[in-house]
Amino acid sequence: MISSLFAFVLLLKVHILSRLFFRLENEWIGGEPENQWRDTRIIALINHTSLYEPLIAGFAEIRLLWKFARHGVLPVAEKTMNRRIGLYFRTLVRHVVVVTRQRDHTWDRVLNQLDSKSIVIILPEGRMMRADGLDSTGREMTIRGGIADILEVLPEGRMLIVYSGGLHHIQTPGDLLPTPFRTIRCRMEMVDIAEYKNGVNKNHPDLDFRGAVIADLTRRRNANCPTEDTK
């Protein structure tokens, strides 16, 4: 419980700092759901552009932060955890799992942490967009299949998809500190996991489940991510 309380205090600090030093603009796709955080099992943050994306915690209700501190599962790339900022990520949630960018035993560790109370936050692209719109190796940003593995083992609950407008105007990869008093823009969409799993293959009958999820989230990303605010 001590570790959960410590994680909650840190998340609450990030929540407060985000609301104090940044303008938050959010739009719900399909309308704001009732009891919007209830039964949330996955938070998928799409359009990964900065290590300062924990500032998006400013959009969350306090009870979601508490749930995440107690039952959160956060896959973090091995490359990120080897940096000094990795120590910070280790303190944010109950279960931080270091993963590679391959479909290997590290993803088994993520899946083994899931239980009836878990809430997973995942960045489905698996890597960060640089200022030129590509990843660090010069490749286009694509959705990876890890989120499909998580969906397969969760029979019910809801998935919150957060479409980020990008944070390059706040902190570009390589910059040390963020620029305050800028606008953080997001769109959010809540989907029922069981309904999503039943429907995704119908929309992509020529693909297996993993491929169908990748295609669907790619389509949603291209349609729903807001334009990055430069102010």
pTM: 0.92
Tell me the CA distances in angstroms from 175 to 103, 123, 135, 169, one per residue in order. 30, 21, 16, 11
Residue 184: predicted pLDDT = 96
Contacts of 31 (CB under 8 A, 6+ apart): none
Question: Over its length of 231 residues, how does the chain's per-residue pLDDT go in tens digits?
Answer: 458 888 899 899 999 999 999 999 999 998 888 776 788 999 999 999 998 999 999 999 999 999 989 999 988 877 777 776 656 677 777 788 877 766 667 778 888 888 888 999 999 998 899 999 999 899 999 999 999 999 999 999 999 999 999 999 999 988 888 899 999 999 999 999 999 999 998 889 999 999 999 999 999 999 999 986 655
Angle at 111 between CA 40 and CA 135, to 5 degrees: 85
Residue 55: predicted pLDDT = 94
Residue 229: predicted pLDDT = 64
Buried b (16+ CB within 10 A) or exposed e, 12-41: eebbebbeeebeeebeeeeeebeeebeebb
Gap between the Cα atoms of 37 and 179, Å rounded? 29
Phi, psi of 63 (to 5 degrees): -65, -30
Gap between the Cα atoms of 153 and 39, Å rounded? 15
Gap between the Cα atoms of 163 and 186, Å rounded? 5
Q: Beta 72-77 vs 119-122: how paired, if at all? A: parallel
| Domain over 2-224 is classified CATH 2.30.30 | no
Residue 29: predicted pLDDT = 95
Residue 201: predicted pLDDT = 87
Query: What are the extents of the domains in the chain?
Result: 2-224
Residue 231: predicted pLDDT = 57
